[in-house]
Structure 1
Amino acid sequence: MATPRRDTRGIVDAADLFARVDFRLREPAEPLRARVEHYWLIDWNLTEPYVSQVVPHPAVHVVFQRFAREDPFVEVAGVQLGLFTQRLEERGRVCGIKFRPGSFRPFAPAQPVTDWTGRRVRSPGIFPPGHLPAALPAVLTPDDEEARVAALDAFLLALDPRPDPQAELATALVERIRTDRTIRRVTAFARAEGVSVRLLQRLFAAYVGVGPKWVILRYRIHEALERAETERAVGWADLAADLGYADQAHLVRDFTSTVGVPPGAYAQAVR
């Protein structure tokens, strides 16, 4: 299993976010690393509201949250199909668990992951009785970061899900898409894996929450977003070809529909 990513790919204008909040990624306990990519911890104390935006990954999150003038709560956030937007103001804290794509199903085996797609469900009834109420203060109260990470580890380790070879297969297939830029078509990918397109789609629906085509396109946008933020002069036509688009216009269309602005305008704004 690859080491969890340490970049912040998908965050829109990450530098602006980091200038306003305290954002950290932490690794889970070793027994959890095959299923959990990382924990993400955010603390803020703002003098004026700020809206964060993320181009979502094909991953499910369990998120412990504390906002000003609200009771603390936990929610399951399925794969979000559009731009994920969160308003932050005053003081607050979020401690999130990012599951590896395909790896959430063992923790909630009764339903396919597509049931969570596009949804944010507070206080989900999928965990043992009393498990969430006990975990909430343990995760959100300590100012000590190590204590919060330990509480997240304890929360997941107590669930002790059964092994699921299909979940492991789904996770491996999504990781292959993420790391192999030659994977551009679902039909070719299915053929290379020795399965039918229909079987691949059913596996992704049950364990990832979105189809393989969506995953391929989303990782393309993540790459384009990162290039727009880190390179002074992006050759969009060359990047489009590198990412497997038929032409630059298709990249611009997908980027604009996902992020809300054309890639050139976005690159100029973040610089």
Structure 2
Amino acid sequence: MEAPRHDTRGIVDPSGLLSRVRFRRHEPAEPLRRYVEWYWLIDWDLPAPYASHIVPHPSVNLTFQWDGADEETVPPYGEVTGIALGLYTRKLTGRGRVCGVKFRPGGFRPYAPQAPASHWTGRVLPAQDVFPRATADTARSVVSPAADDARVAALDTFLLSQPCVPDPQADLAMDLVQRIRADRTVRRVGDFARDAGLSVRALQRLFSAYVGVSPKWVILRYRIHEALELAGTRRDVDWALLAADLGYADQAHLVRDFTATVGVPPTAYAQGVT
């Protein structure tokens, strides 16, 4: 399994966010890496509120967090966040801390086999609704330590204590999503299904049950992530050429998808963050 990446794909205006918060990624314990992509930790202490915006990955996240003046005012709590279909926005105020688990696309189902992954899509719910052992004491044990290694160890301890049901279909789903992310030539669901030895309908059922969104959604989302990263780091993007490289029929289709997802056209976004 690949180690945590260092890119900022999915973060809208990453320089704005990273100038206000401390953001880190860490690997989980080796036995967990099959299903967990990385842990992500964020701490902030802001003089003024700030709204962070994320174009979500096709991943379920488990977070333990507190946001307030101190842990006594707002006790730590846990949440499970399914894949957000649109732009995810969170307002950060005062002081706070989040310790998150990003499951691999398809990797959450073995921890929650009682429901298809699509059951969690678009939902945010208390962690204890999914993980009965995710009590307030659990949240406190993860969030309270000052040192990253202690927080990571607490996350490892919690996840290693959870029932996990190995499932070859989850492995297949994770592999297929990784192929979509890594291979820019994957553009059409029909072609991708055929290359995977599946019918389109079987591929769609697999993604609904184990990823939580359709294969077409995943393909489009990774395209937008790439366009978002380029728009935020370069001023000389040839949008017509990029649209062709990403498999769009023309530049207008890319601009439409980008605008619908991020809220502004790519050129306007680039002018605002570069």
Band of TM-score, shorter chain: over 0.9
Q: CA–CA distance in 2 between the matches of 1:90 and 1:44?
A: 8
Paired residue for 1:120, among 124, 128, 136?
124
Are residue 168 (structure 1) and residue 171 (structure 2) matched? yes
Paired residue for 2:81, among 65, 72, 77?
77
Matches within 5 A, 1:5-154: 5-68=5-68, 69-128=73-132, 130-154=133-157
Aligned letter for 1:181?
Answer: R
Q: CA–CA distance in 2 between the matches of 1:250 and 1:131?
A: 43
1:153 to 1:261, Cα distance in 2 relative to 1, 3 A: same
Q: CA–CA distance in 1 between the matches of 2:212 and 2:123?
A: 11
Aligned letter for 1:15?
Answer: S
Q: TM-score scaled by structure 1?
A: 0.97
TM superposition shift of 1:5: 2.2
TM superposition shift of 1:172: 0.4
Paired residue for 1:187, among 190, 195, 205?
190
Q: CA–CA distance in 1 between the matches of 2:129 and 2:224?
A: 34
Q: CA–CA distance in 1 between the matches of 2:41 and 2:247?
A: 34
1:85 to 1:131, Cα distance in 2 relative to 1, 3 A: closer
**For structure 1, which runs of at least 5 residues remain unmatched after alignment?**
none
Cα-to-partner distance string for 1:79-113 (whole Å, 9 max, x where unaligned): 00000000001000000000000000010110011
Q: TM-score scaled by structure 2?
A: 0.96
Q: CA–CA distance in 2 between the matches of 1:20 and 1:262?
A: 25
Q: CA–CA distance in 1 between the matches of 2:134 and 2:266?
A: 44
Q: CA–CA distance in 2 between the matches of 1:134 and 1:87?
A: 25
- Quick check: 1:113–1:207 contact (8 Å CA) kept in 2? yes
Aligned letter for 2:199?
Answer: S
Q: CA–CA distance in 2 between the matches of 1:153 and 1:236?
A: 43
The secondary structure found in structure 1 opposite 2:66 is: strand
The secondary structure found in structure 1 opposite 2:258 is: helix
- Quick check: 1:35–1:99 contact (8 Å CA) kept in 2? yes
The secondary structure found in structure 2 opposite 1:176 is: helix
TM superposition shift of 1:2: 2.6
Q: CA–CA distance in 1 between the matches of 2:140 and 2:161?
A: 16
Q: CA–CA distance in 1 between the matches of 2:258 and 2:97?
A: 30
The secondary structure found in structure 2 opposite 1:125 is: helix
Q: CA RMSD in A?
A: 1.0
Aligned letter for 2:27?
Answer: E
Count of matched residue positions in the alignment of Structure 1 and Structure 2: 270
Are residue 268 (structure 1) and residue 271 (structure 2) matched? yes
TM superposition shift of 1:6: 2.4
Q: CA–CA distance in 2 between the matches of 1:115 and 1:162?
A: 18
Paired residue for 1:217, among 217, 220, 226?
220
Task: State the partner residue of 1:178.
Answer: 181
Aligned letter for 1:154?
Answer: T
Q: CA–CA distance in 2 between the matches of 1:114 and 1:66?
A: 27
**For structure 2, which runs of at least 5 residues remain unmatched after alignment?**
none
The secondary structure found in structure 1 opposite 2:64 is: strand
Q: CA–CA distance in 2 between the matches of 1:159 and 1:122?
A: 16
Paired residue for 1:204, among 203, 207, 219?
207
Q: CA–CA distance in 1 between the matches of 2:166 and 2:23?
A: 32
- Quick check: 2:4–2:26 contact (8 Å CA) kept in 1? no
- Quick check: 1:5–1:37 contact (8 Å CA) kept in 2? no
Cα-to-partner distance string for 1:33-72 (whole Å, 9 max, x where unaligned): 1111111100000000000000000000001110114332
